[in-house]
Amino acid sequence: MASTQLKLKHFLCEQDWTNEELETVMDLAAELKRQVGLEIPHEICKNKTLFMLFFEESTRTRNAFECGITQLGGHANYLTPKATQIDHGEGPKDTVEVLSRYGHAIGIRNTLVGGYKYMKAMVQHAKIPVYNMQCDIYHPTQSLADLFTIREKFGKDLRGRKFVISWTYGPGYIRPLSMAQSLVTLMPRFGMDVTLAHPPEFTLMPEIMKQAEENARDAGVKFEVVHNMEEACKDADIIYAKSWGPIMHTEDEKEGLAIIDRYKDKGWVCDMKKFEVAKPKAIYMHCMPADRGIEVTDEVIDGPMSVIYDEAENRLHVQKALMALTMR
């Protein structure tokens, strides 16, 4: 059954939405994707404005939302703290109170520490829906597109499928926990057995782990943690290999980068060895950008098991559905 009570609903975290509500988004996304393929116009949000507030740069998130609102007949305003009064100290209340009078929804990308807290402050005063375009804790628009992609490949009945989210070696900077945390909490709700793999220093937030365990228990599926990537990938249907920082272990950037470098050449890379132990039709997923030759070999990312471009495209369709269902 479709949910019809989504107008003005915020989307900060997958857990805030029921399975029925998320199914409604995915069902509409499938229909909008079909209409794109048939070149059928669908100006559901004609003359509506989406504000996009980015605290850092983006490729897929920005362009999927911007192209999406255009295809829906609306317009996107791209904002940054530097190009607004936010950098001069304007708080979330004043910012969103004003923008609520101009437009119809606002998306925020802020992966800095406190990013989710900032979005929650926006929600307190918003008269329009607020979308989490990624924060320090969650990345819900990506995880929902990931789920949509998995259902395209394996069908809607995912019970018995094994989903692996594994840490990979990724040097240079500290990546947020948000992608892994969204995946471990969302995927069990839709029937998948979830395995989380990472070295000991790369744990997720305790409250996220508790939520993942509860979701798995409620759905009657498995959730496990292992510390060996090849072991995790055994009999996997989906291998989602993505780096994140040892943020729960240390807040010191220099120490964190040193910990990451300890695992160079220690097998934390998505290569063909991982797919040799996975199921024959297993797929490789990544939210992109992936560090080619570091996180993943070219043989995998460019191979028949890779669905990264389908996954990226589906950001467009899922985000369009989200906007169409919720915008004022």
Name the 3-class secondary structure at 233: helix
Pick the closest to residue 110 from 87, 131, 88, 136 (CA basis).
Answer: 136
Residue 76 has pLDDT above 90, yes or no: yes
Amino acid 34: pLDDT: 98
Domains and CATH numbers, the chain: 14-139+312-326 (3.40.50.1370), 142-309 (3.40.50.1370)
Amino acid 62: pLDDT: 97
Q: Which residues pair with 162 in a beta bridge?
A: 193
Which pTM value belongs to this model? 0.97
Amino acid 1: pLDDT: 56
Q: Which residues pair with 306 in a beta bridge?
A: 284
CA–CA gap between residue 48 and residue 67 (Å, rounded):
13
Residue 313 has pLDDT above 70, yes or no: yes
**Mean pLDDT throughout 77-101?**
97
Q: Are the CB atoms for 96 and 120 separated by under 8 Å?
A: no
pLDDT band at 3 (very low <50, low <70, confident <90, very high): low
Type of residue found at 147: L
Residue 231: both structure tokens together: 């072991």
Residue 233: both structure tokens together: 């990938």
Q: Are the CB atoms for 325 and 72 separated by under 8 Å?
A: no
CA–CA gap between residue 54 and residue 79 (Å, rounded):
6
**Mean pLDDT throughout 200-227?**
98
Name the 3-class secondary structure at 296: strand
Q: What is the mean pLDDT of the chain?
A: 97
pLDDT for 55-73, tens place per residue? 999 999 999 999 999 999 9
Residue 316: both structure tokens together: 């467009």
> Which residue has tokens 């467009």?
316
Q: Which residues pair with 223 in a beta bridge?
A: 194
CA–CA gap between residue 202 and residue 211 (Å, rounded):
18
pLDDT for 16-54, tens place per residue? 999 999 999 999 999 999 999 999 999 999 999 999 999
pLDDT for 314-325, tens place per residue? 999 999 999 999
pLDDT band at 4 (very low <50, low <70, confident <90, very high): confident
**Mean pLDDT throughout 110-139?**
97
